[in-house]
Amino acid sequence: MANPLLEDWTGEFGMPPFGRIVDEDFGPAFEAGLEEARAAIREIGESPEAPTFANTIAALELAEKTLDRVAGVFFNLAGADSNPARESMQRELAPKLAAFSSEVTMNAALYGRIAELWERRDSLGLAPEEARVLDLYRRMFVRAGAELSGEARERMAKVKERLAVLSTQFSQNLLADERDWFLELEPADLDGLPGFVADGAKAAAEERGLQGHVLTLNRSLIVPFLQFSPRRDLREKAYEAWVARGANGGETDNRALAAEILKLREERARLLGYGSFAEYKLEPEMAKTPAAVRDLLMQVWRPARAKAEADAAVLERMMHEDGINGRLEAWDWRYYSEKRRKAEHDLDEAAVKPYLSLDAMIGAAFETAKRLFGLEFRELDAALYHPDARAWDVTRNGRHMAVFIGDYFARASKRSGAWCSAFRSQRKLGGEVRPIVVNVCNFAKGDPALLSWDDARTLFHEFGHALHQMLSDVTFSFISGTSVARDFVELPSQLYEHWLEVPEVLERHARHWRTGESMPEDLRDRLLKAATYDQGFATVEYVASALVDLAFHEGAAPDDPMAVQEKVLAGIGMPHAIRMRHATPHFAHVFSGDGYSSGYYSYMWSEVMDADAFAAFEEAEDPFHPEIAEKLERYILSAGGSEEAEALYLKFRGRMPGVEALLKGRGLHDAA
């Protein structure tokens, strides 16, 4: 039988034929894709013709067509719907694909052509986007080691291959720890929990083939449990299990992997002549240097810590009033904070949720995109990779723009967190290709599924990334959509979160799932007023993680990362009752691949811009201001990486922002 991964996908919108793909198809499809790519790259490198942009860079862009297509399907499934076969294939593929990538970037003939073109770049008559792509290709090759020779060259390939194996293992260990742990809850253990938490625990039990209720380490379940359960013993047990992910000893322990990854990254940077991995990694980012990152983080850390310490004192007093002596601990924070929120803002998470059904929030995200950018969404009846995933045809003035897939519910086969990725990204080279974009979340299932305010923010966040892909309008997939500097990539996503807080959006969409009534105005006002509530905590747990990440990659790699983590936290005066948002053994951003390594600060860097970018709409007193929306699309959402991020932002806003709007947005401006 023909391999459906290798056929032309002629169905509607060229969607992958999910219904016909079986796991056994991936191995041969990867082999075929690799073979095709190798042949195409050999042909480019060995071409007797003098190098031109078309026969070198444009040809390279299309050389891995089949491989990209197969990898697009496989890695999306491996993240969103894994199984033992896919996990073992992932382990097998990681070193193979890393070796292939080294083979390409170390191909001397190929690099020779790119370098020659780059030398002559000013006389080639290139369009601006072509010049940019040539520059980026050359930079990628140099940074991958194309100019190394002899032993250093060989060592570089080995280092990258080993890193690929280690980061795959890191993710899989984490998934195993998250999957394996659960806590059976007796009926009495449910006391004090709102219905949605009990429902989530029931659904989690059913998924595991169990009766009754279980607590799992899924964020959408464990966080509300920590917020609402009056049982301090259970909170402690659950919290300790949650933060022990990746550090449980035995086969799935990630601590030794983290140490080895850091050593190899340092070696990689030094082979290329950089003083540290952070220097290497930050060079092409907006921040450019570790010092610039630390500067921003510390500007935020000081007021955030002051606010968190003041809050800790209040919460500890509340705990003492409850008759519990001693210090406020990490498993107490969310519980007393929730009580305080109720008392001070008269706001109860459980009272908000019925207005935030998943469908209502999807509708809110879609309609906001319609008002800002004219996008329309029609649900498709398409066979996808899992029955929970849904797809929409996205159009503008009748023109197909993208397929959007939403895969919202937690399940044991899905890795934790939320993300946006693409089965196919936008490009125009070789004929217009429109993207197939997916948002993956881990919301608790329910009937209907009701989101927390945090979940709703996540939905808007990931949808902002999706817009960056769906509105992309560039020629080369190399710079398409979210292929931008890491500390710029969170701008569209975090900016989009602001529209969830627009009263008009809530009024129209935050409707009670049963009665269809709008959220009462006073509840909405209290919700919005409380938006900066507990930002001391949120900022501290985040910035601490970012500072540890930075410390890991500056200077010599640590022998014992856990000791460095402790040292950094002690050095900044980490509040006793707050822990890092992601401790080292489960810091997937940093260790499950290179994406956010010495780059976890990126969210905050982008936040400086998103706060300022939304202020453009506020200054115009219209959250849907057409000209500002048009500029946002033109210079940011459609532009991909066609220019340096700073240049794009300047075109949109006319200046670069300071940190004030961010501090104000987090309610930290007077805590300094």
Q: Which residue ranges make up the site for Zn ion (CB under 5 A)?
A: 490, 493
Q: Which residues pair with 357 in a beta bridge?
A: 450
Q: At residue 635, what is the residue type? A: Y
CB of 462 to Zn ion, least distance (A): 7
CB of 549 to Zn ion, least distance (A): 16
Distance from C-alpha of 392 to C-alpha of 408, rounded to nearest angstrom: 14
Map residue 571 onto helix, strand or coil.
Answer: helix
CB of 480 to Zn ion, least distance (A): 17
Residues 6+ apart with CB under 8 A from 193: 201, 224, 225, 228, 229
CB of 97 to Zn ion, least distance (A): 24
Query: In the chain, count of helices (H) and strands (E)?
Result: 27, 7
What is the 3-state composition of the chain as percent helix, strand, coil, each rounded to the nearest 5? 60, 10, 30
Which residue of this chain has its Cβ atom nearest to Zn ion in the complex? 493
Our CB check for Zn ion shows the closer of 193 and 286 to be 286
Our CB check for Zn ion shows the closer of 439 and 493 to be 493
Our CB check for Zn ion shows the closer of 231 and 666 to be 666
CB of 487 to Zn ion, least distance (A): 12
Angle at 193 between CA 187 and CA 194, to 5 degrees: 120
CB of 318 to Zn ion, least distance (A): 34
Distance from C-alpha of 603 to C-alpha of 298, rounded to nearest angstrom: 14
Distances in Å between the Cα of 253 and the Cα atoms of 28, 183, 579 are 32, 20, 19
Peptide bond before residue 448 is cis, with ω within 30 degrees of 0 = yes
Residues in the chain: 672
Our CB check for Zn ion shows the closer of 333 and 601 to be 601
- Asked if residue 231 lies in contact with residue 240, where contact means CB atoms within 8 angstroms, the answer is no
Our CB check for Zn ion shows the closer of 9 and 419 to be 419
Q: Which residues pair with 376 in a beta bridge?
A: 395
Query: Taking the C-alpha atoms of 510, 512, 516 and 520 in order, what is their torsion angle to the nearest 10 degrees?
Result: -70
Our CB check for Zn ion shows the closer of 276 and 421 to be 421
Our CB check for Zn ion shows the closer of 178 and 490 to be 490
Our CB check for Zn ion shows the closer of 161 and 490 to be 490
- Both tokens assigned to 200: 């989530």
**Tally of CA atoms within 13 A in the half-sphere of 613 that contains its CB:** 29
Q: At residue 512, what is the residue type? A: H
- Asked if residue 27 lies in contact with residue 89, where contact means CB atoms within 8 angstroms, the answer is yes
3-state SS of 34-78 is HHHHHHHHHHHHCCCCCCCHHHHHHHHHHHCHHHHHHHHHHHHHH
Our CB check for Zn ion shows the closer of 40 and 611 to be 611
Residues 6+ apart with CB under 8 A from 256: none
CB of 493 to Zn ion, least distance (A): 4
3-state SS of 446-489 is CCCCECCHHHHHHHHHHHHHHHHHHCCCCCCHHHCCCCCCHHHH
Nearest to 110 by CA among 203, 13, 11, 40: 40
CB of 597 to Zn ion, least distance (A): 16
CB of 182 to Zn ion, least distance (A): 28
Among all residues, which ones are annotated catalytic? 462
Our CB check for Zn ion shows the closer of 490 and 633 to be 490
Distance from C-alpha of 193 to C-alpha of 338, rounded to nearest angstrom: 12
CB of 465 to Zn ion, least distance (A): 6
**Tally of CA atoms within 13 A in the half-sphere of 390 that contains its CB:** 12
